[in-house]
Structure 1
Amino acid sequence: MPISGLLYKECKQRQTLLLLTAGFLSILGPLAIINEYFHYKDCLRALQLYPGSVCTFSIDYSNYRNLIGLHFIPPVVMGLFLIRAGRAERMFTLSLPYSRSRIFHTKFFLGAAVLAGSQFVSYGVSDILFLALKPDAVHHFQSFSAGMLVISLMIYALVTAAGTITGNLAAQLITAFTVSVFPIVVMTIYLLNAEFLFGRQAVPDIDFPWSGFLIYFMPAAYIHTSWMYYMKHALFISALMGFCFYLFGYVNFLKMPNERSGHFILSKHIERIIQVLVMSLSMLGSAGVCGYAYNGSYTGYIFGMLIGAIIGFFISYYFIYKKTKQI
């Protein structure tokens, strides 16, 4: 099989996924512009009924939260289905004369190239539409385009990394989502418990601008458009996280079994660590909430810790420890 054979194989096997992803991302931006143009035309027609109205054809990408949400779908789908495969396909791929490193990089960078290339196409078509339709004003287009390129690759790397340590698709999705909100969960639990146990002085004040862009260490925060106002910091953090997710996924792809076993986590060692973490967070979170609910009572705090321990046990047993039907 020639050097390019592995890339050709992946392209043929994932042809539908790659084409749908590329097509979807390529038309998102242009469709948003055309939609705004039709709204503008509707406004002009309405002037006949309401002569005092004013119609402007302006596009502000800082208001396009739904568009950002739609941009999250392709990298998630790509991360779910490009790296992972069924047992027969996995065994066949690993039997080819390629190292695991080359297999991972071929798969990973194929997906990254499709995500990036389709967004470049969207950028070019959008530019042409701006020249043809001549809107009155366009705000944050460059920031949006550059930002979504970096953010989509970060999300793709996150979901891919989650897939290298999990045994089924549901576990992969849950793990990726948990990591995307993990920083704010830990911070909230810390604030609840620190203030309850040691008083307000145990909670540090975070000065601006750190309070503005510290939230962008949480991948889920990028679904909101406010990152455009912290472009320099937010995109650097996003790129750094994406690189870390890529390295994590690469190392795990080399060292862990790469077929779906039905277990939540493929590695027993990591599975135990995650079980302990889930139990701890559940206990501390429930303790902090119940402590405040019982007006600062230590009885409520201890009661909440017991409730959290029970909840954490059931979550860790049924979702992490117990083997599930392969998905």
Structure 2
Amino acid sequence: MVAKGLILKEIRQAYIGLITASAVLIVYLPWMIMNAYSSYLEYGNGKFEFSMFESSFNGVTLLMPFILAIGMLGSEKQRGSMDFTLALPFKRSAIFWVKWLVGTITIVISLIVSFCVSSVTLNITGAFVLESTVQYYLYLTLSAVMIYSLLFAAGCLTGTSFAQGMVGGSMLLLPVLIVSVSIMNLDVFMDASALYNQGFADILINFSGLNIVWYDDTTMIERIITPLCLTILYTAIGYAAFLRHPAERNGYFFLWKSFNLPVFLIVLLLGMFGFGGFGYSIGGESIPGYITGILIGAGTGAAIGYVTIYKKAK
């Protein structure tokens, strides 16, 4: 009864976000199929072909677990209702798992329903599908749950919904940013193009959860194992943080202030060397342009880091 009451409380509290995310995840691919079929009937000839991995709407679907996780944690902290939740007669571990499972189950069930509807739609339209529907939905489910777990962990470490979104989004892009900025700066002193290849790019894509946006069927095992392992890692981090750190609203970017300086330094360095590489490329590949970019980046990174990390939100 206790678990049931907590589940019902979370569903009632976040029902708008749950319904919205479910509707988008269920409808998006059948809608894309019918949209492509309508264009085929009007302009096409021959057989109707449809590629799920080339759908322009794929990236939008990955925003749903992003928004859902913020609704389950960040928004609740922002409006102060997390204090009420923590005051209820439930263990913190139970609160964490119920919140995480409500979002995860919503994603999984929605995509199962979407798979069934899409399969029927493809049969009705007589589409020749260029990829495996099962493989596509497997990749999408793994990516969506991984992104949800990452944003959920970010919510356990941060004090506001803005901070949760910023940390989660930054972590998704961090591998790509680090590699890109490093190659940009190495190009100033040497030819670093040999360090980048398609296989390396595929690895970065797996870590970012974008394996349905850039499709490569030669790396199927990695595209399954990587998000699975990352989901376990992110969930473990979130669980430990939720149990050990205060989850009540305090307006600070990080609940654990020991994160402030390391993250500020990362923002500063990425700003410096990111702008440095950009300044070098637009400055005629000159050292003065590179140095100017570093100086501008240092100021920008320091300002962004201070305003976002150290200033308390009202």
Tell me the TM-score range normalised by the shorter chain. Answer: 0.7 to 0.9
- CA distance in structure 1 between the partners assigned to 2:205 and 2:284 by the alignment: 33
| Alignment: residue pair count | 310
- CA distance in structure 1 between the partners assigned to 2:165 and 2:95 by the alignment: 22
What SS does the aligned partner of 1:263 have? coil
Which stretch shifts more, 151-160 or 3-12?
3-12
Query: Does residue 1:306 correspond to 2:295, yes or no?
Result: yes
- Counterpart for residue 15 of structure 1: 15
Query: Does residue 1:31 correspond to 2:22, yes or no?
Result: no
Which stretch shifts more, 158-167 or 1-10?
1-10
- CA distance in structure 1 between the partners assigned to 2:270 and 2:164 by the alignment: 20
- CA distance in structure 1 between the partners assigned to 2:65 and 2:119 by the alignment: 23
Kindly indicate whether the alpha-carbon contact (under 8 Å) linking 1:123 and 1:145 is maintained by their aligned counterparts in 2.
yes
Unaligned stretches of 5+ in structure 1? 44-52
Q: Give, in angstroms, the shift of residue 211 of structure 1.
A: 2.8
- Give deviations 1:139-180, integer Å, cap 9, x for gaps: 212221111111111111122122222222222222222112
Q: Match for 2:126 among 123, 134, 145?
A: 134
Q: Give, in angstroms, the shift of residue 252 of structure 1.
A: 1.5
Q: Which amino acid aligns with 1:9?
A: K
Kindly indicate whether the alpha-carbon contact (under 8 Å) linking 2:143 and 2:209 is maintained by their aligned counterparts in 1.
no
Q: Give, in angstroms, the shift of residue 230 of structure 1.
A: 3.0
Kindly indicate whether the alpha-carbon contact (under 8 Å) linking 1:29 and 1:122 is maintained by their aligned counterparts in 2.
yes
- Give deviations 1:162-219, integer Å, cap 9, x for gaps: 222222222222222211211121112222333435x34xx48458663352222441
- Counterpart for residue 171 of structure 1: 163
- Counterpart for residue 119 of structure 1: 111
RMSD after superposition: 2.6
- CA distance in structure 2 between the partners assigned to 1:80 and 1:275 by the alignment: 22
- CA distance in structure 2 between the partners assigned to 1:62 and 1:218 by the alignment: 18
- Counterpart for residue 50 of structure 1: none
Question: Could you say if the C-alpha distance between residues 36 and 270 of structure 1 is closer, same or farther in structure 2, counting changes exceeding 3 Å?
Answer: same
Q: Among all aligned residue pairs of Structure 1 and Structure 2, give the percentage whose two residues are the same amino acid.
A: 26
Correspondences of 1:131-280 after superposition (within 5 Å): 131-135=123-127, 137-140=128-131, 141-197=133-189, 199-200=190-191, 203=192, 205-206=194-195, 210-219=199-208, 221-222=210-211, 224-228=213-217, 230-280=219-269
Normalised by the length of structure 1, the TM-score is 0.84
Q: Which amino acid aligns with 2:120?
A: I
Which stretch shifts more, 163-172 or 84-93?
84-93
- CA distance in structure 1 between the partners assigned to 2:310 and 2:55 by the alignment: 41
- CA distance in structure 2 between the partners assigned to 1:18 and 1:307 by the alignment: 42
Q: Which aligned runs of 4 or more in structure 1 are off by greater than 6 angstroms?
A: none
Q: Give, in angstroms, the shift of residue 119 of structure 1.
A: 0.6
- Counterpart for residue 62 of structure 2: 72
Q: Which amino acid aligns with 2:10?
A: E
- CA distance in structure 2 between the partners assigned to 1:24 and 1:307 by the alignment: 41
Normalised by the length of structure 2, the TM-score is 0.87
- Counterpart for residue 82 of structure 1: 72
Kindly indicate whether the alpha-carbon contact (under 8 Å) linking 1:65 and 1:225 is maintained by their aligned counterparts in 2.
no
- CA distance in structure 1 between the partners assigned to 2:123 and 2:279 by the alignment: 59
Question: Could you say if the C-alpha distance between residues 14 and 302 of structure 1 is closer, same or farther in structure 2, counting changes exceeding 3 Å?
Answer: closer
